[in-house]
């Protein structure tokens, strides 16, 4: 099976204030998109693998997010957790010239 990509426009950058995250339901998956105070964008699975905490409600600092339920810390660029050995799914997110958020998802070919 090879994968293709599906690009989805989520809306304007203004949907996500600096230093925060927002959850989106896309193709049956919950995905969290984060905007750091420095303007970087990241996208991960929306639920913490520990106890399904809403990561978009977590504390964003630099390129990390801390789960609001149990304090697990995740690197937004790699999905790696500290101190746990689990990882988050990560996705590509970009910004168009019109400041629209675009999420890229892998889609398996039939």
Residue 60 has a CB neighbour count (10 Å cut-off) of 21
Phi, psi of 57 (to 5 degrees): -90, 0
Instruction: Note down pLDDT in tens along the chain; length 110 residues.
Output: 346 888 999 999 999 999 999 999 998 889 999 999 999 999 999 999 988 899 999 999 999 999 999 889 999 999 999 877 789 999 999 999 999 999 999 876 66
In this prediction, residue 3 carries a pLDDT of 62
Give me the pLDDT at residue 46, please: 97
Q: Write down all domains in the chain, each with its CATH number in brackets.
A: 19-99 (2.102.10.10)
**Nearest alpha-carbon partner for 89 in 106, 69, 72, 101:** 106
Q: Which residue has the tokens 């991960």?
A: 44
pLDDT for the residue 110: 66
Q: What is the pTM of this model?
A: 0.91
């Amino acid at each position: 099976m090879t994968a293709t990509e599906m690009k989805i426009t989520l809306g304007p950058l203004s949907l996500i204030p600096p230093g925060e995250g927002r959850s989106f339901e896309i193709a049956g998956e919950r995905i969290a998109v984060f905007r750091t105070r420095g303007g970087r964008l990241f996208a991960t699975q929306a639920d913490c693998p520990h106890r399904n905490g809403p990561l978009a409600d977590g504390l964003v600092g630099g390129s990390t997010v801390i789960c609001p339920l149990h304090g697990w810390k995740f690197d937004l660029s790699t999905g790696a957790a500290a101190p746990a050995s689990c990882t988050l799914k990560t996705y590509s997110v970009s910004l168009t010239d019109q400041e629209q958020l675009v999420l890229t998802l892998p889609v398996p070919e039939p």
